[in-house]
Structure formats: C-alpha cells, structure tokens
Amino acid sequence: MMNTPHYPHPIIAREGWPFLAGSILIAVLVSFWSLGWSIFFWVIAAFVLQFFRDPARSGSTEPLAVLSPADGRIVVVEQTLDPYGERQALKISVFMNVFNVHSNRSPVDGEVLKTQYFSGKFFNAALDKASLENERNAMVVRTPAGHLVTAVQVAGLVAKRILCYTKAGNTLARGQRYGFIRFGSRVDVYLPLGSRARVAIGDKVSATSTVLADLPASTS
C-alpha cells in the first residue's frame, strides 16, 4: 500500500539539506575569519541539524491502532466537528515545538480520499483557534475497514511552509512519511466517534511509536 511518493530513510530529512548545507558553509567561512565568532554560527548549524533530523520509527501492528502523525505534546482531546470530513469526531491534536521532529507520518493505513490546502494566519499552533484560522493542509483517509480519518497539518507562529506529498487516490501505510512542516506547528487528527483515546492532554508523543487511539471495531 505505498504508491504515494516517498523517499528512503535519509536520517536528516531531505527538506533540511539546503538549510544544513548553507549553515555549515557559513560557519566554515566565518571560522577562517574568527574562531570566536564562528561558535555562534556552529550553534545555528547544530540547531538546523537537530530540527531536520528524521529518525527511523516502528509502531504498533494492532489493526485498529491510530499512530501519532508527529512528535510533540498533546494539546487537545475532545469531541468536535470535523470540518473536512463533515461529521462529528474525536479530535486529538499534537503540538510540535522547534525541538521536535517535524516529519509527518500517516496515522493509519488507507486510501487518500482528498487533500485540501487552506491559506491562513500564523497564530501560535498551541492555541485552539490555530486549527481553523492558520495556514493548513487537510488529508482525509479511508482505512481498509471503512473508517474515515482526517489528519490536518497546521502551520505555527514561525512555520512558513507546509509540505504534503500525497493526493487523492494514493494509498498510505501507517508510519509512512507524507509531509513536513518547517519551524513549529501542529497536527490535528479527527477520528470516528466511538474511537478510544489512549493519550491525554499534556502527554508527550512520538510519531509512529505512540498509539493515539483505537478505532471502533465497527464502522456502523
């Protein structure tokens, strides 16, 4: 189930290669001029390196498990309207700060029914209003069992680029990389009513490794 464009695990996300190369080049050049000043630029290069790290992950094989699409902290667990799937749903939101891995991974196996991009503002992604007012990209997936799962990449205060590599008709496997958000953001996941949350507000989660919830046994 992997006909969505993807890439071999690179350790450092490909989205960061230009930034890392540029920061290292500047640090090297400054080192020739002043070792003291170069420390500042090497610190910047180290920050860029940690921001764009993309570690390999493995996750649960339980058929109804929904895996976290991102690293970060849980900021929302509530029943609300899924405006993209047009239904009531269980919403779980993961907030990513600049020290988290920002590679986004599919929470479930399934077929992508649609993706939709929305331009918007750049409020702090930890705020509730960011879900509907910030720049964002929504993806609705139908699992093999018929469950609808929506994952929404939401830009944050300093995030300026949302990248999504999938489109309607593609299939995704749980844990497969499908996007990236640069410099602070969140991912909202909307699940069918009857899903059982396995995380709580304040919990720290890891993409793919953490199970966010269990889908209901039936789609009826």
- pTM for the model stands at 0.85
pLDDT digits (tens, 9 = 90+) for 104-132: 999 999 999 999 998 867 666 666 776 77
Write down the pLDDT at residue 171: 93
Between 1 and 141, name the one with better pLDDT. Answer: 141
Q: What are the domain boundaries of the chain?
A: 11-54, 65-214
Provide the pLDDT confidence category of residue 199 given band limits of 50, 70 and 90: very high
Give the active site residue among 106, 185, 206, 218: 185
Reported residue count of the chain is: 220
Packing angle, helices 35-51 and 17-33, rounded to 10: 170
Q: Classify residue 26 by its DSSP letter.
A: H
Provide the pLDDT confidence category of residue 5 given band limits of 50, 70 and 90: very low
Give the residue from 103, 125, 124 showing the smallest Cα distance to 178. 103
CA distance 96 to 99: 8
User: 65-214 maps to which CATH number?
Assistant: 2.70.70.10
| 185 is a catalytic site residue | yes
pLDDT digits (tens, 9 = 90+) for 143-196: 999 999 999 999 876 656 788 999 999 999 999 999 988 776 889 999 999 999
What percent of the chain stands above pLDDT 70? 89
Give the residue from 107, 72, 102 showing the smallest Cα distance to 180. 102
Contacts of 57 (CB under 8 A, 6+ apart): 105, 175, 206, 207, 208, 209
